[in-house]
Structure 1
Amino acid sequence: MTSSNQTKINLVDVLQQFSVQYIEQYQLLHKHLPLIEQDENWPSPCELTLSDDDTINPPPLSTQVFWRPTLIEKEKELNFDNVESALEIILHEDIKRYFTAQFSESLDASCEEGQLTLLFAWNEADFERLQENLIGHILMKRRLKQAETVFFAVTDEEDMIISVDNDSGAVWVERVGCKPHKKLAESLPQFIRTLIPRVS
């Protein structure tokens, strides 16, 4: 097994572990799965019905549905080929694996540095929107003549994001429009392992 494949497996594993922990803590606190307002024009594989799990209680509002992070099926095979082609760049394998591992609402977490929110795509259309945002971010970095990074989380501080350095794969904190200023981990899998789910 190559180190690249090992990285893929490790990252998906730690993402799954974190997501399971998040849902377990949410259920302990609220006695049910997370709820979200249902939008018929914005469906997601994350949404559950009573037929999916007859042990869950009916939602308190008819406009709400239960949801949980859901692994992206192999046949969907989401990728960043169009982004890499448009920007003439090879994105770091960790960031590609992160955003193609699962569909999910944003998940709140805590680390030694403070509070953050992990970003994911809710559905395939959201994945396309995410790609557009990442293209905009990288173009901004190029315009400012800064090292290229790819964000995957936001923090509780305005304009502060958490990103992956595209060359090294290290995780950094950066203010939007500024150079990364504090390294949090050597890799994305290493960083995810340190996170604690934050449920309210």
Structure 2
Amino acid sequence: MTSSKTNLPQVLRQFSRNYLDAFSQAHGHLPLVETDEDWISPCEQGKANENESYWQPVEIAQLDQQQTLTFDNVESALEINLHPDIITYFTTLYSESINASSEDGKLSLLFAWNFDDFQRLQENIIGHILMKRKLKQAETIFFAVTDAEDIIVSLANASGEIWAERVGCKPHKKLANSLADYIGQLTPEV
């Protein structure tokens, strides 16, 4: 498995800064999220009003948190080594989904909002991989949804390539050679 691990965190941080800059220029403030006292996140940056909070992506490595984000339990449960890029992707930033566009259309990059959301994400990845195995398809890990019905963007676990695939089907369109390459070609959509 080849990895763009050294470059990927930098690409993710730059893309999130570009998103925040574009959003702030368009709206004059940080993005908004519905406030949920039972679903708090280090991304929240104060209340905007009674129902919404400002938010921004936060680097997980800079947080003083007691829980470490790893995929050890997923890898152990599935007896698999996850591609290092997908591990890096999901352990670099806490964030709300970030909208983007590419030459193939609009999409939303998925991230964990907090530690509990990271655990839920792991369960979804396990379910996705088990479905792929049941269908006797190569293992992929999703990280984005598109505006096209039932199309997700996934990383091929064996190669690290980025593919579009219909849920439950084999990947059908290669989008990039690596996750860093793919994120680097996206435009923030605000």
**TM-score, with normalisation over the residues of structure 1?**
0.90
* 1:43 corresponds to 2:40: yes
1:150 CA drift (Å) = 0.3
Indicate the residue corresponding to 2:92 in structure 1. 101
Structure 2 portions without partners, runs of 5+:
none
Partner of residue 55 from structure 2, selected from 47, 64, 67: 67
1:110 CA drift (Å) = 0.6
Which residue identity is paired with 2:154?
A: S
CA distance in structure 2 between the aligned counterparts of 1:17 and 1:36, rounded to whole angstroms: 21
1:77 CA drift (Å) = 2.8
Indicate the residue corresponding to 2:80 in structure 1. 89
1:87-122 CA distances to partner (integer Å, 9 max, x unpaired)? 000000000000000000000001111111100000
1:158 CA drift (Å) = 1.1
Which residue identity is paired with 1:79?
A: T
1:81 CA drift (Å) = 0.3
Identity across the alignment (%) = 60
Partner of residue 151 from structure 2, selected from 157, 160, 176: 160
Indicate the residue corresponding to 1:28 in structure 2. 25
CA distance in structure 2 between the aligned counterparts of 1:65 and 1:117, rounded to whole angstroms: 20
Equivalenced residue count is 186
1:65 CA drift (Å) = 1.1
Structure 1 portions without partners, runs of 5+:
50-57
CA distance in structure 2 between the aligned counterparts of 1:35 and 1:73, rounded to whole angstroms: 23
- SS of the residue corresponding to residue 141 of structure 2 reads strand
Which residue identity is paired with 1:12?
A: P
Which residue identity is paired with 1:180?
A: P
CA distance in structure 1 between the aligned counterparts of 2:138 and 2:33, rounded to whole angstroms: 37
- SS of the residue corresponding to residue 147 of structure 1 reads coil
Shift >4 Å, 4+ stretches: none
1:59-91 CA distances to partner (integer Å, 9 max, x unpaired)? 2x2221110000003654301000000000000
Which residue identity is paired with 2:107?
A: L
